[in-house]
Chains A and B, each alone.
Chain A
Amino acid sequence: MNRSLLKIIDSWVPKNSKVIDLGCGDGSLIAELTESKGIIGYGVEINAEKIATCVANGISVIQEDIDDGVEKFNGMGFDISIMASSIQCLRNPNLALENMLNMSKKTIVTLPNFGYWKCRLGLLGGSMPITDNLPKTWYETNNLHLCTIKDFENLCSDMGFKIEKKRYIDIRSKESFFAKLFPNLFAAEGVYLLSK
């Protein structure tokens, strides 16, 4: 995860909070937040290699398929649930979001913006776009449900999720003027703090 994304997430996570990171990868986000905010963090991951890395790094990790449902994490007193760059890989992203807001007071989501101008350019050229944050070909990617900034914000509004905070970053991971002004076109990534 890049530094600016990390900085944004870090600023939204309260000190000593209980955090669950769905799709935690090698656990580096939990490690950072443990260091900076003293969180009690748990990661959920399905990849055996990444799980082994989490264990080696002393990260609490649970082997689980998020698509099988995450209701089991309800009622465990999580303050924050995080899904960083994974929501587009899920079979039912809307249900996952709903569940995340049930299991925790607040939810942080980061997602690649499919409305980003380079993606649009790619499609104009007649092909599925390949960009820095969507680097894989259509047949190799794990992404099932790509969406634009606009789509995501519409979903939140339809589902009754409150967007408490949002930030847009461009392809150089900067919060540039254009990314702020026309996020659906110029933001490569959106970062959201949601509540119900």
Chain B
Amino acid sequence: MKINRQLIEFKDTFKLESGKVLSGFELMVDTYGELNSDTSNAILVCHAFSGNHHAAGKHNTDVTEGWWDQMIGPGKAIDTNKHFVVCPNNLGGCAGSTGPTSINPASKEPYGGDFPVVSVSDWVNSQKLLMEHLGINKWELVIGGSLGGMQALEWSLSYPDLVNKAGVIAAAAKASTQNIGMNEVAREAIRKDENFHDGNYLAMRTKPKRGLKTARMLGHITYLSEEHMNLRFGRKVQNEDTKIDGYVDFEIENYLKYKGEKFSDSFDANSYILMTKAMDGYDPASRKNGNLYKAMEPIKAKLLIVGFETDWLFPAKRGKEIQAAAMNANILSSFVILPGNQGHDSFLFHTPEYEKIINNFIES
């Protein structure tokens, strides 16, 4: 598989939905496979909130495969032998694209807490510039899971002529009250870390690692199903020698702490806040007095909406709501529920049924 990783600079000023303006920005972008001569084989993959541009394969120094490697690659559901797959790190992220850890040209210090609020629309608009940069006329497919699914939906409704198909996986047309509540607990854990310094921790040469770790531990619970956690950990007691700290009794505690610790090493706390705020704020129906089907009327793309049985963060019924609104607006759209026992995270993992649905949709 041909992998190309590049940092692309956009020099023009970029106006955000909030009204704030970036004087320019950079996107870290992975592409897999090759663009054909009439650019009709391009697929945009949008990542979920803690994801990044590295969706598949291994490039140079990569230690692991990308986050959607089970679905993207030669002969896989998203077949890189046939398609040119583009996956950028979102604006406001912390994996190479312009975000809170980048240097603010005005202050010559990292943006930190001063990085402007970004929205799902801002991501889509920045990806539109990326599309132009890559010389792609129309996406054959825009696809993503969770917050990535929100971007796929937003693409189809804000640029109806530029999207043939949209795959909205394990997503919702807006975050639920419960989603917002969970996200706020996570954000509060970060803010209450004494090293947070109103988001300007990098200037103080420190990081709110403990807050970020707690946030991720909570988040991680919401990504898994009760059944899966029970099967994997049950009430198994953690081995004394491998306990992360003296407070740990059960394996699940150790696991969450380990995951949280690892995450807090690699992710930026301000990005966490920005990404979750973008997720909470997304609500296309609000542009049409709460009427989702009115908001979806411009869509010309064919939609595939997928939910997973054990997902309780964005339950399948939230996907069904999107399809119902699409059907109300006479938009060609399908809704499928897949088994997947890993809760919300099911969208990351290959199953034969999942591969078949995605592949059938692409080939249809």
Contacts and interface: CB of A to CB of B under 8 A. Distances in A.
Binding between chains A and B = yes
A40 B324 CA distance: 14
Contacts of A57: 364
Contact of B336 (A63, A73, A75, A77): A63
A72 B353 contact: no
B357 interface: yes
A51 interface: yes
A1 interface: no
B328 A60 contact: no
A75 B360 CA distance: 30
Contact of B361 (A55, A73, A75): A55
A48 B339 CA distance: 10
Interface in A52-104: 52-64, 72-73, 75-77
Residue among B304, B327, B364 facing the most chain A CB atoms (10 A cut-off): B327
Interface residues of A, number: 23
Interface string B293-319: 000000000101000000000000000
B335 interface: yes
B334 A61 contact: yes
B353 A56 contact: no
B353 A48 contact: yes
Nearest to B339: A48
Contacts of B98: none
B262 interface: no
A40 B330 contact: yes
A55 B357 contact: yes
Contacts of A42: 327
B363 interface: yes
A56 B323 contact: no
Contact of B334 (A18, A54, A76): A54
Contacts of B337: 63
Contacts of A63: 335-337
Interface in B330-364: 330, 332-337, 353, 356-357, 360-361, 363-364
A59 to B, nearest CB: 8
Contacts of A55: 304, 334, 336, 357, 360-361, 364
A8 B330 CA distance: 25
Contact of A58 (B302, B327, B336): B302
Contact of A56 (B324, B336, B363): B363
20 contacts: A18-B330, A40-B330, A48-B353, A53-B360, A54-B334, A56-B361, A58-B364, A59-B334, A60-B333, A61-B334, A61-B335, A61-B336, A62-B320, A62-B323, A63-B337, A64-B335, A72-B324, A73-B327, A77-B328, A77-B330
Given A51-B357, A58-B302, A60-B334, 8 more contacts: A18-B330, A48-B353, A52-B356, A55-B357, A56-B363, A60-B327, A62-B335, A72-B324
Rank and list the top 10 A-B pairs by shortest CB-CB distance, nearest first.
A56-B360, A58-B364, A55-B360, A61-B334, A62-B335, A60-B332, A76-B328, A52-B356, A63-B337, A63-B336
Interface of B: 302, 304, 320, 323-324, 327-328, 330, 332-337, 353, 356-357, 360-361, 363-364
